[in-house]
Amino acid sequence: MPELYNLVGDLGGTNVRFGLCAANSTEVNFIEKFSLRDYEDLDHVIGVYLRPKLQSGDISISACCLAIAGPIINHKVKMTNTDWEFSTDTIRKNLKIQHAVLINDFAAIAYSVPQLKPQDTIEIGQPINGEASGPIAVVGPGTGLGAALLVPNATTRDGADNYLIVPTEGGHAGLSARTTEELQIFSYWRDKGCRINREFFVCGTGIERIYEALCVAASSTDYKNRKVVQIQQLGCSRQDKLCEQAMEIFCALLGSAAGDQVLCTGSTGGVVLAGGILPKFVDFLQQSAFRRRFESKGAMSHFMSTIPSHLIIEAQPGLIGAAAYLLEKN
């Protein structure tokens, strides 16, 4: 009798990662990464991943959950940077399974949070005494700024907390300048007709926007030849003053946005930072103004000083979250 496994995937703009987990577990194994451009469609790459694992007859696929970086409309996906199109119906048909689901990639990260082990996160700022409880905000800069909320829902038989996952559009909420430098940066982009929200600056391209405004103010044209990876590397290693300044402002604005998200959602359980950008400069983030700006909320500053902030350093939270989703819904 073959052992039942769930297929989980994390589908981004250029790559897809797959893994398998036992039908009653969130522990993901057999993780592999594939480039989208190397395959005709989703069915093709799933076949390449699964075929050698199914040949022995010891494994059978029970269900599938894919985390998608993009819009999911009526259980269908049309990729923006490839001609791939697929739906839950086509996945069920091709895999010959009863249950297939597509979820937002940031929702998958939120589902992973209760499953993470202590070593999967790092506390940002000074350790907070006592055990935090209540809703948890999840904020993650990447291509955009993802935001979700975990609301305590019930307690399972084994005593573990159960959460209701609430996706939000917090990345599109407003953002205010707090310093003269930030005001100049905001004005530079407003004069170009841009609408300023959290996501405009607190994401990968947001770092480039901050840097461009700083360069223009300093009569430098370096921004024309530098992308986010270079700005981050030069700034976090403190090899270039304007790059360093851009990264400092990015971390400060992230702190403001994360703090506002906590206040707006009553997230007394803390904020969890996620996404692929932040783990690349953990030390810089720790030393930055992130925590000071997170706490700096006027009359609510003392309250905010009691709210913990953690960064996910686990490499595959999307896959873990997809596994957790299947475990909860099945």
Is residue 76 domain-shared with residue 150, that is, in the same domain?
Answer: no
Query: 285-316 pLDDT, tens per residue?
Result: 999 999 999 999 999 999 999 999 999 999 99
For residue 233, list its beta bridge partners.
none
Instruction: Give backbone dihedrals phi and psi of 126, rounded to 5 degrees, phi first.
Output: -65, 140
Cβ count within 10 A of residue 79: 17
Within the chain, residue ranges assigned H as helices are: 42-54, 88-95, 105-112, 180-190, 198-201, 204-217, 228-236, 241-265, 282-287, 290-295, 301-304, 317-329
Q: Which domain holds residue 195?
A: 117-313
**Token digits of residue 222:** 């370096």
**In whole angstroms, what is the distance from residue 58 CA to residue 65 CA?**
21
Using DSSP bridges, classify how beta strands 161-168 and 145-155 pair: parallel, antiparallel or unpaired.
antiparallel
Residue of 323, 315, 319 whose CA lies nearest to 121: 315
Most distant CA pair in the chain, distance: 70
Is residue 177 domain-shared with residue 280, that is, in the same domain?
Answer: yes
Cα 28 to chain centroid distance, Å, stands at 18
Is residue 181 domain-shared with residue 259, that is, in the same domain?
Answer: yes
Using DSSP bridges, classify how beta strands 59-68 and 99-104 pair: parallel, antiparallel or unpaired.
parallel
Is residue 24 domain-shared with residue 159, that is, in the same domain?
Answer: no
For residue 61, list its beta bridge partners.
5
pLDDT of residue 143: 84
Domain containing 85 — which CATH number? 3.30.420.40
Instruction: Give backbone dihedrals phi and psi of 79, rounded to 5 degrees, phi first.
Output: -65, 145
Is residue 122 domain-shared with residue 153, that is, in the same domain?
Answer: yes
Domain containing 229 — which CATH number? 3.40.367.20
Q: At what angle do helices 42-54 and 88-95 cross, to 10 degrees?
A: 30
pLDDT of residue 161: 66
Is residue 75 domain-shared with residue 202, that is, in the same domain?
Answer: no
Residue of 222, 224, 220, 244 whose CA lies nearest to 232: 244
Is residue 181 domain-shared with residue 292, that is, in the same domain?
Answer: yes
**In whole angstroms, what is the distance from residue 219 CA to residue 242 CA?**
11
Is residue 25 domain-shared with residue 49, that is, in the same domain?
Answer: yes
Is residue 188 domain-shared with residue 279, that is, in the same domain?
Answer: yes
Is residue 167 domain-shared with residue 308, that is, in the same domain?
Answer: yes
Is residue 233 domain-shared with residue 220, that is, in the same domain?
Answer: yes
The answer to whether 64 touches 99, Cβ cutoff 8 Å, is yes
Tell me, yes or no, if the pTM score tops 0.85: yes
What is the tally of structural domains in the chain? 2
Quick one: DSSP state of residue 129?
Answer: S
Q: Which residues of the chain have pLDDT under 70?
A: 130, 154-161
**In whole angstroms, what is the distance from residue 141 CA to residue 123 CA?**
17
- 10 Å CB burial of residue 283 (0-12, 13-18, 19+) is exposed
Is residue 305 domain-shared with residue 322, that is, in the same domain?
Answer: no
The answer to whether 51 touches 61, Cβ cutoff 8 Å, is no
Q: For residue 183, which amino acid is it?
A: L
